[in-house]
C-alpha cells in the first residue's frame, strides 16, 4: 500500500510518529497554517504532472474544502494523490455515486486560482470541465479574459463559463482578483489577493492566500526576475510580503525555478534560475529587516522543467545550486506529485 507523509516544512527538528505521518516542529514557523497537496509539480512538457496544487486552511478539521493553485494537471494528480492516501481524512459518503477521486473533484474542490493562461497551468481544468461540478475561477482580469477568449469559446472548447462567446454553459463563474482587496474564496476558510508578475510579455500572477487566523502564504505563477524582465513586479511583491514576515504571519512562499544556472538569460522566456531566485531573495531579506529575517522561511520550489537529455536531472542540479547559495537560512522544499505537506 502506498502511503503519504504529511510534512511540515521549515527549520525542522523531526521525529517519526507513525508510518503515515511525519510531525515536525520548527521555531518561527511552528504553527501550521495551510494544508497543501501536490497534483502536479513540473513545468513544461511532462503532461500528467503539470503545475497544480490543492490548498486549504489547517485550523478547522471540519473544513475539508480545497481550492487549486493553478490547474495544469487535475484528475491524474487526484489519482496519484489518492493512491498515496493524501485524502485519507476525507470520508466517502456511502450514498455517493463517485469514486474518492470523483468525490474530491466534484464536492471538495471549490474553485481554481489560475495564475496565467498557459496550458501547463490550465490544461487540467479545461480537460476536466465536462465532468466537473459548478465552481469559481479566480484570477486577474487579464487572465480570466484570456481563458474566455482563447479556450472557452466554442472553437478550442465549449464555453463552460459565464462570460465570452456563444452560449454560456455557466458551469464556471469568473471572479476577478486585484491587489487592493481580499476576496473570499467561496465555501472555504480562505481569502485571496492577486498581484501581477511579468512572464516574457504576458501578465502572470502571484496569489496571496490568507486564513481566518491572519496567517498568509504566497504562490507565484511563472515569473521572470525583475532584472531580466525590466519589471518592478517582484520588487512590489517583496514590499507587500515584508510586513507579514516581520509579524511572523508568512507561512511560506511557493515559487518557480524552471531552469538551472546553465541556461542563459536570453533563453529563459520569463522564468527563474537558482541564481536569479537567490538574487530576488536577497531583495526580500533586505526589505524584511536584513540579515536573518528569512531564517526558517519555507520556500517551495515549483515548475522545474522536465528534461529529455540523457544523464540530466534538472531538479538535482537546481537543488544543489540553491543550497550552495542559501545564505538566508531558508528551507527549500521540492514537492513530488501526490505529496501532502503543511505550511
pLDDT tens digits for 43-94? 999 999 999 999 999 987 677 899 999 999 999 999 999 999 999 999 999 9
Whether the pTM exceeds 0.85: the reply is yes
Q: Which residues contact 130 (CB under 8 A, 6 or more apart)?
A: 158, 160
- Position 8 scores a pLDDT of 72
- Position 28 scores a pLDDT of 56
- Position 18 scores a pLDDT of 32
Q: Spell out, as residue ranges, where the chain has pLDDT lower than 70.
A: 1-7, 10-30, 61
- Position 3 scores a pLDDT of 52
- Residue 327 CA to residue 238 CA, distance in Å, equals 18
Helix count and strand count (H, E) for the chain: 8, 19
Alpha carbon 169 to chain centroid, angstroms: 28
Residues 81 and 89: beta-carbon distance below 8 Å = no
- Position 15 scores a pLDDT of 37
Backbone φ and ψ of 228, nearest 5°: -90, -40
- Residue 54 CA to residue 109 CA, distance in Å, equals 8
Amino acid at each position: 500500500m502506498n502511503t503519504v507523509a504529511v510534512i511540515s516544512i521549515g527549520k525542522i527538528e523531526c521525529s517519526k510518529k507513525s508510518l503515515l505521518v511525519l510531525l515536525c516542529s520548527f521555531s518561527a514557523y511552528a504553527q501550521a497554517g495551510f494544508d497543501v497537496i501536490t497534483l502536479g509539480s513540473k513545468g513544461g512538457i511532462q503532461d500528467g504532472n503539470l503545475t497544480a496544487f490543492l490548498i486549504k486552511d489547517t485550523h478547522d478539521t471540519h473544513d475539508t474544502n480545497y481550492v487549486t493553485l493553478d490547474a495544469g494537471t487535475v484528475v491524474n494528480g487526484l489519482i496519484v494523490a489518492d493512491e498515496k492516501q493524501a485524502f485519507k481524512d476525507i470520508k466517502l459518503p456511502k450514498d455517493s455515486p463517485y469514486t474518492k477521486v470523483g468525490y474530491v473533484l466534484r464536492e471538495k474542490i471549490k474553485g481554481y486560482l489560475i495564475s496565467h493562461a498557459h496550458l501547463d497551468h490550465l490544461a487540467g481544468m479545461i480537460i476536466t470541465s465536462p465532468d466537473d461540478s459548478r465552481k469559481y475561477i479566480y484570477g486577474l482580469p487579464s487572465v480570466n479574459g484570456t481563458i474566455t477568449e482563447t479556450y472557452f469559446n466554442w472553437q478550442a472548447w465549449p464555453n463552460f463559463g459565464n462570460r465570452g462567446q456563444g452560449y454560456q454553459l455557466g458551469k464556471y463563474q469568473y471572479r476577478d482578483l486585484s491587489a487592493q482587496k481580499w476576496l473570499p474564496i467561496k465555501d472555504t476558510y480562505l481569502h485571496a489577493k492577486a498581484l501581477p508578475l511579468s512572464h516574457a510579455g504576458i501578465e502572470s500572477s502571484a496569489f496571496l492566500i490568507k486564513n481566518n487566523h491572519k496567517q498568509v502564504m504566497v504562490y507565484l505563477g511563472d515569473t521572470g526576475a525583475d532584472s531580466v524582465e525590466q519589471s518592478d513586479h517582484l520588487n512590489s511583491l517583496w514590499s507587500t510580503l515584508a510586513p507579514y514576515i516581520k509579524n511572523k504571519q508568512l507561512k511560506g512562499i511557493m515559487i518557480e525555478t524552471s531552469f538551472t544556472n546553465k541556461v542563459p538569460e536570453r533563453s529563459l522566456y520569463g522564468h527563474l534560475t537558482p541564481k536569479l531566485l537567490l538574487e530576488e531573495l536577497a531583495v526580500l531579506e533586505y526589505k524584511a529587516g536584513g540579515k536573518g529575517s528569512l531564517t526558517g522561511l519555507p520556500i517551495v520550489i515549483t515548475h522545474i522543467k522536465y528534461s529529455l537529455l540523457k544523464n540530466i536531472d534538472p531538479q538535482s542540479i537546481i537543488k544543489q545550486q540553491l543550497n550552495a547559495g542559501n545564505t538566508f537560512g531558508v528551507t527549500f522544499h521540492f514537492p513530488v506529485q501526490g505529496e501532502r505537506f503543511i505550511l
